[in-house]
Structure 1
């Protein structure tokens, strides 16, 4: 009776009834051409001459439709590459000289389109007031009887609910607004990725925002036959000086038919194919880093000898690192904390008499690359920037905000960080951000009510130039993005960097399991940390990036187990490149199971992770797998026991795979590989 009850509970919680058409869609690598054609037709309609455009604003009291109707239109097209077509639509007002330019990218291999809107004053005097800039303002057509569900995620709160998936029914006359409303952090409250579905969950549209600052998105059904979506910067009311140019957030629209799992995996494919950074022309591979941060208050109490000792001890124990992680606190301080003297960006000569280059050289000689932390946007009292260039900062307190919108400041920071990366021979640049930036931008807005939003816009433009220039000067260097954990995970950053440390809510197994579950549908490359050598802890934190936070000086730790767990991760890590499927419901409760799988149809390989949490009373259950070909055979291997069983794809999809646990908490790592693959 006990096992039968578990069996029924798991099948119910997994929600795993899969139709034949869904199986076919999930197993397909190529996107149906019909979906791409439908997206192309939608874009043509939205930008048709004389019709309502999919963006809006108000200029000098006139709606954008009224204003643009009196502008001259020039259209220029070209190709970015074989898969992307660029289109620039420029509207010029002959009276004021105001230019409105929409730069569109159409995708030939995905049913996706994106654009950014630019405004430039080509006149000799300042413009009228531009306000309510919305780069996406469009109704999506519905059947009046459709139920609409909005799928979206929590942001990086630095808590157990980080990246929790949410699903809400959007009833008639109902609306939902989300955004970056917490102190200017782009993804502290919500991720800027949304999937609205209708037609019984068989059709939908995904939208996304690229803006490393304050954005908002609203979804409303004020009319039965439309879902109105509006996305933009939270606050804009400003004029432009002669020659001045600004931009809006980047917006992306992707259409889908089929199942939500298939839609999210199409998104993951698009992220890999067109968004993830490619240092040296290559996608980032899963990587293993290690740090001593937990033992020296980041690097506040560390010395060069400490860092070298930790590296040597890992290697002595047979743990092959890709990167050694040098964290906050490597610069001079006043004895308080690692937050002392942020803005004095050179190695502390007392603790690092030969600079950080000595650590990099030591690591490089042993086949380990170096990673270095920076937080350029925070400037604290007594630092070099604070004392010598207060004009480069916003604010007048003991903590100030470095202003990338100041051209002189931008040029200095770019050159200085570039010189440090070269002089210290750093291989990976880590950009952190923990400033309540909205306080500084709001103060600038109060100083000039007719320039609201301009300080934020200029900072964003300068920040993105900074990141792009560092990459140009270091074309083979991977960049890591952090913002007090996962508070800056929007599309503009994700095109330039990967989040190797996705949340400051770290290590605790249940919360980190939830992070993988929620984040993997949208962001295919992220990282977490390991600070205990147990299979349950390691696998809970297993990600494309793993950061070891162990005291490698301890010689009696269970290094054999660590080596075995790392070897298992190395065997399966290539399959993070594949599709992601939740296999159970999301939950943070301690008395349930949670699990998922990654699978690559093109290689026929994947893996399943299943976790029996500490409070669970269940020892056995069955869960149906996803994404497999029902006509093929698969070898299913328990990576702990190395016992393998052959199954037909139809059986795994229909009847499922049984998991048996002997204790709680406990984890399973199951290898899936196609048999008889040519």
Structure 2
């Protein structure tokens, strides 16, 4: 069985079994007896240096073995310490481990009667982000020791690492034991789980194998070169349910893979008021004054694209206007659009701070449009990957700024820091609306396949690290076409405020956003989503659970209406904050089984904070549900059955209840498309 002890045994200097594999000059690398040295950094952090070819090819595992969590993570590096190019290293798998699985029949472990038992393991995974109503939905596949049903293979189709699937997986021996796995790579990856096929009575079918790494690698190491491979995170679940295991994983991610400020405090996804970058400063400043006068508790003003490029109108792409929304063609020029912002962004940023908010601004720094007039197109074409012939023919094409080139990365870092400091920008939002895969491929040669990607990914992570180092109290919003660059390493530096672009449409199924918050939250607790605002309380409430971006008055044509209910507006934002804060320190328990499979069901989620003996319950009677009442069974272990709890409802009711009364109680919602939020706290 996959266990912490098994992996620890592999990470010993004299272990014949390594947790990685590769081919060298077309043959499986013999790793059993290669020399290894352990270099201890501190109690949790150490390195294993393997001399695959002494004085030439080294594999370095940079390892963290956590003291208070059953988690080990490591990142492999390949280094050429010699004076000549190495042989060809190919199909490098940063994760390649094998274990003998327990024999099971149903949920019962068996030691005898092996002949009658079929070996089985289960794999959990989630769909990725494609601006769709099914984004992040959970999937499960049982693997058996029989040909045809013994293997699951997943890979992302391009360079966006979380488009097709999230790079997080659970491999379960049974309901109480398993391992959660994360791949830390902002590029193309592949992952597989294979159950050994064969008759158990003939000593077959007992083992399984888990593998993961870059989607393609076939390269020589040049003298003095050191290349990074995907990071691997393994969280072991032993005698722990899947739900409790996911809550432990969430707590681990919040503690060890979430951005923190200069004081060590967690940077929270904010409650945002969203505007369009082409929306003129004078109108945005008036909205800031309105927010201040009506005490709307937004934490940030989030300004999107359109603020840069030529001095001309750039309306929102959904806005009715005589002008075209040409923001994609402006990307690459970071001059301020003086039509919209004649005095730059500083007057707006001053008004934002006067209203008690921070200023979050959209950038898309790694895509360069051929029509943008970017100085990089003429001054540093060697930094760009793309189709120069198409540009010479006058076609609209994109180039990729190659962050694998240190000078290009340093230029970009200085550019972003300069704009943020000059214009009074507090937080950095990074978009990335192109698939880098064909650009990376175009930068490779036949004996250096994958190297452009390796250097780019490492440079990209360094770019974000440098931005955070310069602005330690600022956060990075990881957009990338809405949640398409999510992994455990980017989570250390950022969080997505737009976890999926599904909510960017003028019309979308709001109830699907509740699924996004439920299922992404199992792996990445810091995240946020958009919505069209507080004029529709049910629509707004469907977005509660993390960061929150209201587009209520985002652009021309969406101005405040006479008679707007500011009391309800303030109330919704207050509860959005409460739920966000609870999710970042509490455990999460879905209360309705598989609501994504039957839209006539209600949906409900409990967030419980054991350290405070309090929590929240979000309840939705969805638009297709005919049921006026739902009996909710809270997790019994979260409540003290004899204690008394103060209970407050969003709808206004306040009462007290005993713990045993709350383990199963009814909620009534007379009309479809309605909701309730319940806050309970021990007296």
Task: Please give the range of the TM-score, normalised by the shorter of the 2 chains.
Answer: 0.7 to 0.9
Conserved 8 A contact 1:514-1:586: no
Range with bigger deviation, 505-514 or 109-118:
505-514
Question: In structure 1, how many angstroms separate the alpha carbons of the residues matched to 2:454 and 2:10?
Answer: 30
Match of 1:266 among 248, 253, 257: 248
In structure 1, the partner of 2:337 is: 348
Aligned partners of 2:482 and 2:53: how far apart in 1? 47
2:591 is matched with 583
- Does the 8 Å contact 1:501/1:526 carry over to 2? yes
Residue in structure 1 matching 2:274, options 287, 291, 296: 291
Q: 2:630 aligns to what?
A: 621
C-alpha deviation, 1:440, in angstroms = 1.1
In structure 1, distance between residues paired with 2:288 and 2:273: 8
Q: Which residue of 2 aligns with 1:208?
A: 182
* Distance in 2 of aligned mates of 1:67 and 1:196: 26
Once the two structures are TM-superposed, the CA of residue 204 in structure 1 deviates from its matched residue by: 0.8
Unmatched runs of 5 consecutive residues or more in structure 2: 105-118, 198-204, 314-323, 391-396, 554-558
Contact 2:18 2:31 in 1 (8 A): no
Aligned partners of 2:16 and 2:31 also within 8 Å: no
Q: Find out whether 1:197 has 2:139 as its counterpart.
A: no
Q: Could you say if the C-alpha distance between residues 516 and 571 of structure 1 is closer, same or farther in structure 2, counting changes exceeding 3 Å?
A: closer
SS in 1 for 2:496: coil
- Compared with structure 1, are the counterparts of its residues 632 and 225 closer, same or farther at alpha carbon in structure 2 (3 Å cutoff)? farther
SS at match of 2:259: coil
Map of 1:325 onto structure 2: 302
Q: How much has 1:63 moved relative to structure 2?
A: 2.4
User: Which residue in 2 is equivalent to 1:185?
Assistant: 160
Query: CA deviation digits over 1:400-428, x for unaligned, max 9?
Result: 11110112211110111111111111111
Structure number with the bigger relative contact order (C-alpha 8 A, sep ≥ 6) is: 1
Normalising by the residue count of structure 2, what TM-score does the alignment of the two structures yield?
0.87
Structure 1 distance, partners of 2:514, 2:167, is: 21
Give yes or no for the alignment of 1:91 onto 2:91: no
Superposition deviation, residue 586 in structure 1: 2.9
Of 108, 118, 123 in structure 1, the residue corresponding to residue 77 of structure 2 is 118
Distance 1:60 1:95 in 2: 17
Structure 2 CA distance for partners of 1:514 and 1:571, relative to 1, 3 Å: closer
What does residue 648 of structure 1 align with? 659
**Residue in 2 that maps onto 1:419:** 418
Is 1:87–1:103's contact at 8 Å kept on the other side of the alignment? Answer: yes
How far residue 94 of structure 1 moved from its aligned partner, in angstroms, is: 5.2
Taking a change above 3 Å as real, the CA distance of residues 94 and 177 of structure 1, as seen in their structure-2 partners, is: closer
Q: Say yes or no: does 1:391 pair with 2:392.
A: no
1:554 equivalent to 2:564? Answer: no
> Aligned pair in 2 of structure 1 residues 203, 187: CA closer, same or farther (>3 Å)?
same
**Alignment correspondent of 2:207:** 226
Verify the 8 A CA contact 2:269 2:495 in the aligned structure 1: no
C-alpha RMSD of matched pairs (Å)? 2.0
Greater mean alpha carbon deviation, residues 277-286 or residues 457-466: 277-286
**Superposed CA offset, 1:77-124 (max 9, x none):** 132xxxx61111112245561111111110000001011110111111
In structure 2, the residue matched to 1:29 is: none
Matched, 1:147 2:120: yes
Q: Which moved more, 1:366-375 or 1:460-469?
A: 366-375
Residue number among 645, 658, 681 corresponding to 1:673 in the alignment: 681
- Given the alignment of the two structures, is residue 636 of structure 1 paired with residue 636 of structure 2, yes or no? no
Report if aligned partners of 1:118, 1:247 keep a CA contact under 8 Å in 2.
Answer: yes
Contact 1:530 1:537 in 2 (8 A): yes
Name the SS for the 2:333 alignment partner.
coil
CA distance in 1, matches of 2:647, 2:547: 25
CA distance in 1, matches of 2:459, 2:92: 20
Going from structure 1 to structure 2, the CA distance change for 1:571 and 1:460 (only over 3 Å counts) comes to closer
Which of 52, 61, 65 in structure 1 is aligned with 2:26?
61
Secondary structure at the residue paired with 2:235?
strand
Contact 1:517 1:586 in 2 (8 A): no
1:373 equivalenced with 2:362 (yes/no):
yes
Deviations 1:314-352 (A, max 9, x none): 222321221111211111247651112211112123332
- The CA distance in 2 between the partners of 1:555 and 1:386, in whole Å, is 49
2:434 corresponding residue in structure 1 = 435
More displaced stretch, 219-228 vs 149-158: 219-228
Moved more, 165-174 or 424-433: 165-174
| Superposed displacement of residue 279, structure 1 | 2.0
Seen in structure 2, the aligned counterparts of structure 1 residues 606 and 304 have a Cα distance that, compared at 3 Å, is same
Deviation at 1:48, TM superposition (A): 5.3
Offset at 1:631? 4.1
Kept after mapping to 1: 8 A contact 2:13/2:37:
no
In structure 1, what is the equivalent of residue 220 of structure 2?
Answer: 239
Contact 1:380 1:386 in 2 (8 A): no
Confirm or deny: 8 A CA contact 1:74 1:89 kept in the other structure.
Answer: yes
1:432 shift after superposition: 1.0
For each residue in 1:421-449, what CA deviation from the matched residue of structure 2 results, as whole angstroms up to 9, or x when unmatched?
1111111111111111111122234xx11
How far apart are the structure 2 equivalents of 1:605 and 1:666? 24
Pairwise CA distance, 1:471: 0.8
Contact 1:343–1:386 (CA<8 Å) still a contact in 2?
Answer: no
Unaligned stretches of 5+ residues in structure 1: 1-34, 294-298
Q: d(CA) in 2 for partners of 1:149 and 1:528?
A: 31
- Once residues 109 and 58 of structure 1 are traced to their aligned partners in structure 2, the CA distance between those partners, rounded to angstroms, is 36
Runs (4+) off by over 6 Å: none
- Measured against aligned partners, the alpha-carbon deviations of 1:451-503 in whole angstroms (never above 9, x if no partner) come to 11011111001101100011111111111101111111111111100111111
- The reply on whether 1:603 has 2:640 as its aligned counterpart is no
Shift of 1:561: 1.3
Q: How does 1:398-547 map to 2 (within 5 A)?
A: 398-445=397-444, 448-506=445-503, 508-532=509-533, 533-547=535-549
SS at match of 1:557: coil
CA–CA separation in structure 1 for the residues paired with 2:656 and 2:141? 40
**Contact persistence 2:168–2:523 (CA under 8 A):** yes
Asked if structure 2 preserves the Cα contact closer than 8 Å seen for 1:313 and 1:553, the reply is no
Supply the distance in 2 between the matched residues of 1:438 and 1:431 (Cα, whole angstroms).
18
Cα deviation, 1:122-160, whole Å, max 9, x if unaligned, reads 111111101111111001331233532211111111100
Aligned partner of 1:73 in structure 2 is 36
